[in-house]
Amino acid sequence: MNTILIVGAGGVSSVTAHKCAQLPEVFHKIHLASRTLSKCHLVAASVRQRTGREISTHHLDADNLDESILLLRTLRPDLLLNLALPYQNLTLMDACLATGTSYLDTANYEPREIARFEYKWQWQYHERFRKQNLCALLGSGFDPGVTNVFTSFAAKHYFDEIVELDIVDVNGGENTESFATNFNSEINIREVSAVCRHWENGQFVESPSFSTHRTFSCPEGIGDFEIYRMYHEELESLTQAYPSLRRAQFWMSFSPTYLRNLKVLSNVGMTGIQPVDYREKSVVPLQFLKSLLPDPGSLGESTTGKTCIGCIIRGTKEEEHRTIYIYNSCSHESSFAETGSQAVSYTTGIPAMIGAKLMLQGRWFEAGVWNMEHFDPDPFMEDLNTLGLPWSIEEHDPFLKENRP
């Protein structure tokens, strides 16, 4: 009897809850806990309506260690899926250690006061998880997550050695909002505003955010997009797992409107993460801004178009140079029709479900704290194809002009 506890009741969590409910043979009992209980009720009602399954809902402030331990002791899940925010990662990992529970998340820990995206805090838990025969799977979303698996799948089946990696994340979706982020706006704006870092000849090299960009032509007629180089957390674990990588870069598409609005908000200090005094109250500008922006979970109904996220991997096979492009494209409209959420939540929520499934089945279970590329990519790739995120492989370099569709 497999029991899971999903923490957080936002866009990603809602997709994961729906997808887990579609697999009763794997996920026998599903609990959902979050800070705002009414949001858990909404997710549970939608799951009931779409799948006929009941999930149990609970209140939890996951910043509170004692409360988290108490809930885990009461529910005794086999696995905790942390789909709240990166701030809660360490508290929830501590609660898992205190109660003998395995752990999964989709984004690395961040302290509230500094926007640094590093695994070092969570990797320090490795020995403690190992000694208790518990498994922690880090970054089981799309990017990080599927992008790590695409890379390890390519390294396993297509190359003797991989030397260059470009991860390209395009959201070709459009909605009626003048400025909206496609996942939690506080985390999103912290991430995209950070100094850019990419891997070059054995070290990370810094450059100003949004200073390097190019045009990218997506396959399947999705269109041409301006993509900007930025830092993303999977570069840290992948460059360690594949020391043959001479260059590794992450690129994301942004519309001119998004960039213009972000620049203005940043110029006037609205993206700041340090508290300021306002009428004798301490206010964090970015948290206040988040309260004004649309909830990404509510964008599903009005969003059209597709996401297209993939990895361009260059290397050698039998001494010949080779390049492959592995990607998934996902429609906002069909994601919404199936789960009530747009494609960014959908493409994150499904890999969280697949990671949990493989852990519970013992196929991706090893004591310790691991990133996605540690495990055999094949069962994960099979599940992507059958459980909602089919992928394609093309043997060409989409960064070369002559290969543009």
**Contact indicator for 372, 107 with CB cutoff of 8 Å:** no
Which residue, judged by CB position, is nearest to ligand NDP in the bound state?
Answer: 10
Tokens representing 12 are 């990603």
Min dist CB 191 to ligand NDP, Å, is 8
Min dist CB 39 to ligand NDP, Å, is 5
| Residue among 347, 360, 354, 361 at smallest CA distance from 380 | 354
- The DSSP symbol for 261 reads H
Min dist CB 246 to ligand NDP, Å, is 25
Angle between helices 332-339 and 343-360 (to 10 degrees): 60
Min dist CB 31 to ligand NDP, Å, is 13
Our CB check for ligand NDP shows the closer of 12 and 315 to be 12
Show Cβ contacts of residue 348 under 8 Å, excluding neighbours closer than 6 positions: 12, 15, 106, 141, 142, 145, 183
Min dist CB 9 to ligand NDP, Å, is 4
Tell me the pairing of strands 247-253 and 161-171: parallel
At residue 182, the 3 state secondary structure works out as coil
Our CB check for ligand NDP shows the closer of 2 and 13 to be 13
Question: Tokens 């609660």 map to which residue?
Answer: 95
Binding residues for ligand NDP, per CB under 6 A? 7-13, 34-36, 39, 60-63, 83-86, 88, 106-107, 139, 141-145, 183-184, 187, 296-297, 344, 348
Our CB check for ligand NDP shows the closer of 143 and 164 to be 143
| CA 74 – CA 346 distance, rounded (Å) | 30
Element (H, E) at 123: helix 120-123
Our CB check for ligand NDP shows the closer of 158 and 179 to be 179
Our CB check for ligand NDP shows the closer of 159 and 225 to be 225
Q: Cα separations (Å) of 143 from 128, 139, 168, 234, 351? A: 26, 8, 10, 7, 10
Which residues on neighbouring strands pair with residue 81, listed in sequence order?
6, 104
- The DSSP symbol for 347 reads H
DSSP E strand stretches across 150-211? 161-171, 196-200, 203-207
Our CB check for ligand NDP shows the closer of 106 and 175 to be 106
Min dist CB 113 to ligand NDP, Å, is 16
Min dist CB 143 to ligand NDP, Å, is 5
| Residue among 341, 322, 331, 338 at smallest CA distance from 390 | 331
Our CB check for ligand NDP shows the closer of 81 and 245 to be 81
Our CB check for ligand NDP shows the closer of 313 and 330 to be 330
Min dist CB 51 to ligand NDP, Å, is 19
Our CB check for ligand NDP shows the closer of 171 and 249 to be 171
For the chain, count helices (H), then strands (E). Answer: 14, 18
Tokens representing 218 are 């997506």
Show Cβ contacts of residue 344 under 8 Å, excluding neighbours closer than 6 positions: 11, 171, 173, 182, 183, 296, 307
